[in-house]
Structure 1
Amino acid sequence: MILLPEPVWPVIVLAVIVFGDGLLTFRPPRAIAACLDGVGFPREWWWVLAVVKFLAAAGLVTGIWIPGLGAAAAAGLVVYFLCAAAAHLRARYVGRDFWLNCLGMLVICIAVLAFCFL
């Protein structure tokens, strides 16, 4: 395992994506709100998702200089999207949102973790 990302650019791209996703979680568009409602995630807890995403983005960026932090943030995102996938499967909410958004982000996070830190 590599403690500092090599190359760095996929980590930065993932951080930007996750930060943007966090912004969308504060005032979700109709599709994201429908997805969160579809899996039964309580509306009063939606803000927690934004905080998790902002912390992950900060960990990815800071991990460019602090050994191990970026890898931990990337691994945390893999776990986050595994949990999201489990919530989708549990709720049987497996439409387009599940395949494109949830599993798509899971694949991207796994790819960044593997490509930059392994």
Structure 2
Amino acid sequence: MSALTSPKTYRGLAAFQAADAVLCAVPVPYIAKALDTVQVPQQVRPILPIVKVASAVGLLSVERSPALARLTTAALTLYFILAVGAHVRVRDSIANTVPAASFLALFAAMTLKGPRSG
């Protein structure tokens, strides 16, 4: 079994998304600064924790509903395409862009492979 298809990977990424949702909801200063840097409008920011919690739920569905988990990784791929685009648009540093690009590559690969079946 590949790490990309393992339910443990999906659960770990769900935990990460849930923690990130909390950090966005607070918001912690470094996340607020990052959102300022990529010019995320103030009216969009309250939606981010909701999106992140929804993605955590979708990732956690991996064993009960592999199709929903795969749809979630596809949605996260789109999310990170937009995130990378935002970093590029404002000419953000490579160091700030690499995490989003890494998650883009990870979720795209997970979408292509899909979760382990059966």
| Shorter-normalised TM range | 0.7 to 0.9
Distance verdict in 2 for CA 1:67–1:104, change over 3 Å: closer
Select between 8-17 and 107-116 the one with higher mean Cα deviation: 107-116
Is residue 29 from structure 1 mapped to residue 15 from structure 2 by the alignment? Answer: no
Q: CA deviation at 1:67?
A: 3.7
CA shift for structure 1 position 104 = 2.9
Q: How does 1:64-83 map to 2 (within 5 A)?
A: 64-83=63-82
1:106 aligned onto 2:104 = yes
Tell me which amino acid in the other structure corresponds to 1:85.
Answer: V
Distance 2:28 2:5 in 1: 34
Distance 1:96 1:29, change over 3 A: farther
Q: How many residues align?
A: 113
CA contact (8 A) 1:15 1:56 kept: yes
> How far 1:13 moved relative to its partner?
0.7
Same amino acid, percent of matched pairs: 27
**TM-score normalised by L of structure 1:** 0.82
**Consecutive unaligned residues in structure 2, runs of 5 or more:** none
Tell me the distance in 2 between the aligned counterparts of 1:71 and 1:88: 26
Structure 2 Cα separation of the partners of residues 44 and 58 of structure 1: 24
- Structure 1 gap segments, 5+ residues each: none
Q: Partner amino acid for 1:23?
A: V
Q: CA RMSD in A?
A: 2.1
CA distance in structure 2 between the partners assigned to 1:27 and 1:78 by the alignment: 25
Structure richer in helix, relative to its length: 1
| Residue deviations 1:39-80 (CA, integer Å, cap 9, x gap) | 111123211111111101111112320240000001111110
Counterpart CA distance in 1 for 2:56 and 2:66 is 16
